[in-house]
Amino acid sequence: MQFNRQLFPDLDLTRPIVISGPCSVETEEQVLTTARQLAEKGIRIFRAGIWKPRTRPGAFEGIGTKGLAWLKLVKEQTGMYTCTEVASTQHVYEAVKYGVDMLWIGARSTVNPFLMQEISDAVQGLDIPVLVKNPVNPDLELWVGAIERLYKAGIRKIGVVHRGFSSWDKQIYRNAPHWHIPIELRRRFPDLLMFCDPSHMGGKRELISPLSQQAMDLNYDGLFIETHYKPETALSDSGQQITPDVLQYILKTLVVRQGGKPDAEKLSAYRAEIDEYDDQLVELISKRMKISKLIGHYKKENNIQVLQAARYNEIIEERVKQAAGLGIKSDCMQKILEAIHEESVRLQIEIMNMDNSKTSEK
């Protein structure tokens, strides 16, 4: 597959290409004010959701077709290109009818081949750029499949957006990045334009800057960031939206190594993967400690001693054997397990010594 990176004829492809705008279109004033502030800062592509995929019914599900007229005003008044999410044939027809310049496929659609086929059929024959967000689950083939369906429908201006992947226990990220998945996508399709969406990845405004920097270090082409002129009043994703002023500040502080050496890119990719595993390690250790505490309470209530030598030996022996099979030296694994076990015992002794009125605080 060969893609056309020039999404718009006059689009400057210098990194980062920035796409920004509110999570949702809410009012005419909100979109126009936000758009004007962004345009003043040199942003060329405006994002805004007209139809919103909300997890539960009853939340703000988007303003609908009525908002398309306001996006048209954004174009006329600021000269920015506009883009919105489409998740059905009807959305495609309506968006195109109102002159939306680019479409994006949301994570909840990329995951669904039936829907991807329907959307691809609807855009067949149109010369419109389409961005494909990663599917909600970390499955590269589903992502590739969605891109292939659009490609078969004749779409060549395709970009992808890494917005992180959903997991059942959200700790640091709303949608955890799995940097190696888009890296593999880029290895297969080197000319595919790649964006990072730090807003949906982090789910909090504080994470936008570090995630954007990481994306730049990994040689992403662009950033897809939610902005709102009054983020605290936003009807959706309020906690992750920033003002256009803050966006400008973040962009200014980004270090963009233009034409980065392939070696540096490779190193950043490895580091990103290590960070991801360290994240998982910390989260796993924290979960393990919580269970240790529960066991501590159980032992206390049932008068069982903290240190169970047989159990301790079994844990160490089994895991050291497993680790050796995976190429980890036994004394290294032993040290790690002992440190973890020592802390579990300390926690349980603390529980034993707690006065009984507090033992119910688990």
Q: Does 106 bind ligand PEP (CB under 6 A)?
A: yes
Q: Does 163 bind ligand PEP (CB under 6 A)?
A: yes
Given the complex with Mn ion, which of 157 and 163 has the nearer CB atom? 163
C-alpha to C-alpha distance for 162 and 193, rounded to whole angstroms:
11
Closest distance to ligand PEP from the beta carbon of 18 (Å): 14
C-alpha to C-alpha distance for 73 and 36, rounded to whole angstroms:
11
C-alpha to C-alpha distance for 145 and 153, rounded to whole angstroms:
12
Closest distance to ligand PEP from the beta carbon of 131 (Å): 10
Residue 131: DSSP 8-state: E
H-helix or E-strand spanning residue 103: strand 102-105
Residue 106 partner contact from ligand PEP, Mn ion, none using kind-dependent CB cut-offs of 5 to 8 Å: ligand PEP
Tokens of 152: 């078969």
Task: Candidates 13-21, 28-36, 100-108, 253-261: pick the segment binding ligand PEP (CB under 6 A).
Answer: 100-108
Task: Please answer whether residues 174 and 200 qualify as being in contact, where contact means their C-beta atoms are separated by less than 8 angstroms.
Answer: yes
Q: Does 95 bind ligand PEP (CB under 6 A)?
A: no
Residues 15, 44, 91, 133: which binds ligand PEP (CB under 6 A)?
133
Angle between helices 113-123 and 89-97 (to 10 degrees): 30
C-alpha to C-alpha distances, 101 to 46, 96, 104, 255, nearest whole angstrom:
10, 8, 10, 30
Residue 64 partner contact from Mn ion, ligand PEP, none using kind-dependent CB cut-offs of 5 to 8 Å: none
Tokens of 281: 């390690």
C-alpha to C-alpha distance for 243 and 241, rounded to whole angstroms:
7
Given the complex with ligand PEP, which of 74 and 320 has the nearer CB atom? 74
Closest distance to ligand PEP from the beta carbon of 325 (Å): 39
Residue 15 partner contact from ligand PEP, Mn ion, none using kind-dependent CB cut-offs of 5 to 8 Å: none
Compute the residue count for the chain: 362
Residues 237, 243, 272, 320: which binds Mn ion (CB under 5 A)?
237
**How many residues in the shown chain lie near ligand PEP by CB under 6 A?**
10
Task: Please answer whether residues 231 and 238 qualify as being in contact, where contact means their C-beta atoms are separated by less than 8 angstroms.
Answer: yes
Closest distance to ligand PEP from the beta carbon of 269 (Å): 22
Q: Does 85 bind Mn ion (CB under 5 A)?
A: no
Bridge partners (DSSP) of residue 45 are: 19, 81
C-alpha to C-alpha distance for 237 and 62, rounded to whole angstroms:
12
- Residue with CB nearest ligand PEP? 106
C-alpha to C-alpha distance for 31 and 232, rounded to whole angstroms:
15
Binding mask 8-47 for ligand PEP (x = CB under 6 A): ---------------x------------------------
Task: Candidates 37-45, 88-96, 103-111, 263-271: pick the segment binding ligand PEP (CB under 6 A).
Answer: 103-111
Q: Does 228 bind ligand PEP (CB under 6 A)?
A: no
Interactions with Mn ion, residue window 18-57 (CB under 5 A):
23
Q: Is 83 helix (H, G, I), strand (E, B) or coil?
A: strand
Given the complex with Mn ion, which of 62 and 296 has the nearer CB atom? 62
H-helix or E-strand spanning residue 278: helix 262-301
Q: Does 200 bind ligand PEP (CB under 6 A)?
A: yes
Task: Please answer whether residues 80 and 46 qualify as being in contact, where contact means their C-beta atoms are separated by less than 8 angstroms.
Answer: yes
Closest distance to Mn ion from the beta carbon of 237 (Å): 4
Residue 129 partner contact from ligand PEP, Mn ion, none using kind-dependent CB cut-offs of 5 to 8 Å: none
Angle between helices 208-217 and 244-253 (to 10 degrees): 40
Q: Does 53 bind ligand PEP (CB under 6 A)?
A: yes
Residue written as token pair 């950033």: 223
Given the complex with ligand PEP, which of 114 and 277 has the nearer CB atom? 114
Task: Please answer whether residues 100 and 73 qualify as being in contact, where contact means their C-beta atoms are separated by less than 8 angstroms.
Answer: no
Which stretches of the chain bind Mn ion, using CB under 5 A?
23, 237
Which stretches of the chain bind ligand PEP, using CB under 6 A?
23, 49, 53, 85, 106-108, 133, 163, 200
